[in-house]
């Protein structure tokens, strides 16, 4: 890898290369996402009425990573909050600055949208990613709770 990659918005033609990255992300978190959810997720990136977006890192026509983010309201802020929902890079592309570049690109999009905050979560066992996250953001101290419905 030469280290000259581009971070850009995903385009419809990226699907064949995005899908394996998406599957890798889902495998990492040991979850199975049904095909219809994947198809809906992909379609939302291109729907102007949806607040969810996708960017990719590309080098020489090969997608190396993805990031998905969305904007939502917050009761403590006027501007929209930006939630970085998914971040993943090919195993052979890790440690090359791609994850950081994807996060920084989300920061730029959030600033342009008037968002006062970008936040995300990761699993407590994802120590490798946390080394990067500790360099580019602050831990909030919040603990997530959830209940499946």
Domain membership of residue 142 (yes or no) is no
Domain membership of residue 95 (yes or no) is yes
pLDDT at 2 over 80: no
**CATH number of 20's domain:** 3.40.630.30
Domain membership of residue 18 (yes or no) is yes
Give the model's pLDDT for residue 3. Answer: 61
Alpha helical stretches, state H, 45-97: none
pLDDT at 1 over 50: no
pLDDT at 138 over 70: yes
Domain membership of residue 148 (yes or no) is no
* Residues 49-103 pLDDT 10s: 999 999 999 999 999 999 999 999 999 999 999 999 999 999 999 999 999 999 9
CB contact burial 89-127 (16+ within 10 A = b; e otherwise): bbeebbebebbebbbebbbebbeeeebeebebeeeeeee
Q: Which two tokens stand for residue 138?
A: 């602050």
- Which domain does 39 fall in, by range? 6-136
Domain membership of residue 120 (yes or no) is yes
Give the model's pLDDT for residue 143. Answer: 86
Give me the mean pLDDT over the 6-19 stretch: 98
SS3 69: strand
* Residues 106-128 pLDDT 10s: 999 999 999 999 999 999 999 99
CA distances from 142 to 49, 61, 71, 129 (A): 30, 39, 19, 18
Those residues whose C-beta lies under 8 Å from the C-beta of residue 74, and which sit 6 or more positions away, are: 80, 81, 117
Number of domains the chain contains: 1
pLDDT at 104 over 80: yes
Domain membership of residue 144 (yes or no) is no
Give the model's pLDDT for residue 69. Answer: 98
Split at pLDDT 50, 70, 90, the class of 39 is very high
Those residues whose C-beta lies under 8 Å from the C-beta of residue 85, and which sit 6 or more positions away, are: 52, 68, 69, 70, 120
**Total-model pTM:** 0.93
């Amino acid at each position: 890898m030469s280290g000259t990659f581009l971070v850009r918005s995903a385009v419809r033609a990226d699907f064949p290369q995005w899908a394996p990255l998406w599957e890798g992300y889902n495998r990492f978190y040991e979850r199975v996402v049904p095909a219809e959810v994947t198809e809906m997720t992909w379609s939302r990136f291109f729907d102007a009425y949806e607040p969810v977006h996708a960017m990719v890192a590309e080098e020489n026509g090969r997608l190396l990573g993805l990031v998905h983010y969305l904007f939502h309201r917050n009761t403590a802020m006027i501007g929209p909050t930006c939630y970085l929902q998914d971040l993943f890079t090919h195993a052979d592309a890790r440690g090359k600055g791609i994850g950081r570049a994807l996060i920084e690109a989300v920061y730029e999009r959030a600033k342009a949208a008037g968002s006062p905050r970008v936040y995300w979560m990761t699993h407590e066992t994802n120590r490798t990613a946390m080394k990067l996250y500790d360099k580019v953001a602050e831990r909030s101290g919040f603990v997530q709770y959830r209940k499946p419905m």
